[in-house]
């Protein structure tokens, strides 16, 4: 009897919100897509489906009994580099890729332990160091040819900034974003060439039997590791701890502090541009991180 795949309502709602018609088509095709790969790769579903904003993840066993997960997601510019990066890292600091379908972006990955997630580590300061150590390891690798480039993204952000600033009514917020753009302009011509994860927050770090912590769900870029720091500053946000976290991470990664600060401002600018262009109010958390890094708030 064929396995019936149920798509979680939260995943369907997220796809509707962020991808519109393409998201609806993806969700409607998920049961058939999953069934096809369960048959093609000789997999047996062994648990309830999991999901984030963009992917359906099914715990499965391979024919030889090896536990794994089947990850099905929309193929776009953010996800197409994921299997490339995972192959390069080859399980060293990141989840191991077992199989991959280029046409759909579907991946078979080693199964980690979803109950042992970094966000549940009681010590927030240690969690920041875990992320820093993973980033130091992952970003030691040069990005391969053809990877999306941070320099291109940063240049496009700077082009969009004047129009976006005109839509920000608060002069203090406008000034912060203008300062972020000015800092980004200082480094945009030297964007770096390291293989970046780009989305290494606490929910994207899991434990396994073979390693204390491993990264999942990269959205790879070629660029400067300073662009990687923002998630660890925002996780379990503590305004009074922003500068200590920033200093600790730059120490672990061996980064020039001023350059890393400029790329972190670039990450803040990117987040705020998305909010402005989507008609959402700016988050004070974003602005407060910029204030704390600038030293304007004691």
Please state, in angstroms and rounded to a whole number, the distance separating the CA atoms of residues 261 and 164: 22
Inter-axis angle of helices 284-294 and 171-187, nearest 10: 60
Ordered strands of the 205-207 beta sheet: 113-117, 205-207, 214-215
**Residue 213: DSSP 8-state:** -
What is the token pair recorded at 226? 């300073």
101 belongs to the catalytic site = no
DSSP SS3 for 117: strand
Q: Which of 199, 217, 240, 275 is catalytic?
A: 199
C-beta of residue 273 within 8 angstroms of C-beta of residue 157 = yes
What is the token pair recorded at 11? 């995943």
- Name residue, tokens 């291109």: 152
C-beta of residue 138 within 8 angstroms of C-beta of residue 197 = yes
CA 252 to chain centre: 20
Q: Which residues contact 185 (CB under 8 A, 6 or more apart)?
A: 158
Task: Return the active site residues.
Answer: 199
């Amino acid at each position: 009897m064929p396995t019936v795949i149920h798509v979680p309502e939260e995943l369907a709602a997220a796809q509707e919100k962020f991808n519109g018609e393409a998201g609806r088509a993806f969700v409607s095709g998920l049961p058939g897509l999953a069934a096809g790969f369960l048959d093609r790769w000789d997999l047996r579903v062994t648990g309830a489906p999991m999901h984030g904003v963009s992917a359906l993840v099914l715990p499965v066993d391979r024919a030889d009994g090896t536990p794994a997960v089947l990850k099905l997601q929309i193929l776009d510019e953010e996800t197409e580099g994921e299997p490339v990066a995972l192959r390069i890292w080859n399980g060293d600091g990141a989840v191991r890729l077992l199989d991959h379908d280029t046409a759909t972006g579907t991946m078979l990955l080693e199964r980690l332990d979803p109950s042992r997630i970094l966000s549940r580590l009681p010590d927030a300061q240690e969690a920041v160091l875990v992320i820093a150590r993973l980033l130091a390891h992952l970003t030691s690798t040069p990005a391969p040819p053809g990877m999306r480039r941070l320099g291109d993204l940063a240049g496009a952000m700077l082009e969009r900034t004047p129009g976006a600033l005109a839509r920000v009514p608060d002069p203090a917020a406008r000034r912060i974003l203008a300062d972020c753009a000015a800092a980004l302009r200082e480094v945009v011509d030297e964007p770096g060439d390291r293989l970046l994860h780009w989305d290494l927050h606490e929910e994207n770090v899991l434990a396994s039997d073979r390693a204390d912590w491993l990264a999942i769900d990269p959205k790879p870029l070629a660029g400067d590791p300073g662009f990687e720091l923002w998630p660890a500053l925002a996780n379990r946000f503590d305004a009074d701890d922003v500068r200590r976290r920033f200093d600790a991470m730059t120490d672990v990664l061996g980064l020039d502090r001023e350059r890393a600060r400029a790329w972190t401002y670039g990450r803040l600018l990117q987040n705020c541009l998305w909010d402005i262009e989507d008609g959402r109010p700016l988050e004070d958390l974003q602005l407060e991180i910029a204030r704390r890094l600038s030293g304007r708030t004691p």
